[in-house]
Structure 1
Amino acid sequence: KQDTYGLAAPLSTKRGYASWYFSNFLWAAGGDFITETGRGTYKPSMTSKESTEAMRWFRALGCERKVVQPGAVTMDTPPTNETFEAGRAGMFVVGPYLMPRFDKSLGKERYEVVPMPKGPKDATVLAEGGSVYLMAGSENRAGQDAFAGYAISAEGQKLGMEGADGSTVQLPVNKTVDVTEVRPDPRWKTYADVYRSSGRYAPSIPNWTPVRQTTAETVNALMADCSLDLGEKLRELDTKLAGILQEQGIAG
């Protein structure tokens, strides 16, 4: 039946989802939200040739080719997960944390894990990670440090990966831990290989949240209204990004 869309995409502005998801395609095309101009200074980059072409291509998936699920611009991840599970979309770019859920809801035999195809530049994908938080003002700083050290040790990482339905560790940060030894499922190796070869984190700036939220609003608007002028909206976005960078003292 002709009832399946090509790509499940969470493109809501909530928590910057549209930007979070689009980053995979932006970076693989050689574009960027902001570009480093010096040590710790940045400039807006959404009007660059690469970024503009990436946005134009991604927008066409929804506006012209109609291969993104209807209602994507109002969806964060929960309804997007359900769209994929219901068979209304055939592909979903997502991290390994959903495998336990999909194994139950779909069954392992009904879906497969493959690396994202190479973009115009490379196969860069968004990488993220969990954190160990140390409480300010603790009277037992040594204990906190010891816990953090254990959490990233080989033993701690292996223990964190052993959950059956979910785990505190997805991919090990400790390079002495081989994911295939802890999880023989070959799908985890696919994720580990992609992370090592193609993973990219958002830039380490004082506060990434306003950059993500502001870019999400523009990506969302362009996907929601196909009549908007792409160049104009990206120029407006770069102006907003310039202001954010200036506020954080890292404009360059």
Structure 2
Amino acid sequence: MDIIDLSWWQLGIGFLILIIPAWILWRYKTGLNKKLGIATVRMTLQLLFVGYYLEYLFELDNAWLNAAWIMIMVLVADFATIDRSELNRKKSLLIPIFAATFFGIIVIDMFFLEAVIQLPKFLAAQYTIPITGMVLGNCLRSNVIGINAFYYSLNEHQERYRFYLCCGATRSEAVFPFFQDALKKSANPTLASMATIGLVSLPGMMTGQILSGSSPLIAIKYQIMIMLAIFSGTVLSVYLGIKLSNRFVFYDNDVLDSSILKD
């Protein structure tokens, strides 16, 4: 069966469903309808821009252009992670978070795209852009959870942390339990999705492939690969993000600079 294309007026009709949640939000005076309107407009404009740009990108399918687009995606994810984090001194975190995200994406892309799928063309846009985007989106969420959990837990239990230091522990040894907690909190949402995928929900990529006419078995194999890539990428980026940012938020005596935390 050929995929059913949506006309612009059909898409416009689809927006009418927002009347229901908008009424509920208005009825209970949540004050969220303005945000809903802004978010809907931004989503529409951003996706239209990306859609038209990807048409151009897919047509050219140039490895350098694809790599440049990935860099832009990582930069946007970097700024979004820092903006959504509940931390101060955001500028000092730009480089470590960017480096962590970029390295994580490079490892995942090279392994899954070049070693597993074995693309006929290096960084082929059809595979590279959507897979990188899905991994990045999850890295963003996990980085926010992990970084917030690490620094706020460390600040809340400073006496415990300093006790470890007084007992002769190195900084790496003293922050170990806080690192452990941050990794657990950032990894749990993805693990929960992996445990229920297919039974509770059908993921976006798998649904898209089936709608476009792919065999469900092919879609399932790709979805399994994507979930492995997402989990590996998120854990790696959170690990590196905390490790690298540590270099900018501790004094020489290993005491946490509390100015990084919001009051």
If the TM-score is normalised by the length of the shorter chain, which range does it land in? under 0.3
Name the one with the larger helix percent.
Answer: 2
| Structure ID, larger Rg | 2
TM-score between both structures, scaled by the size of structure 2:
0.22
Whose strand proportion is higher, 1 or 2? 1
Q: TM-score, normalised by structure 1?
A: 0.23
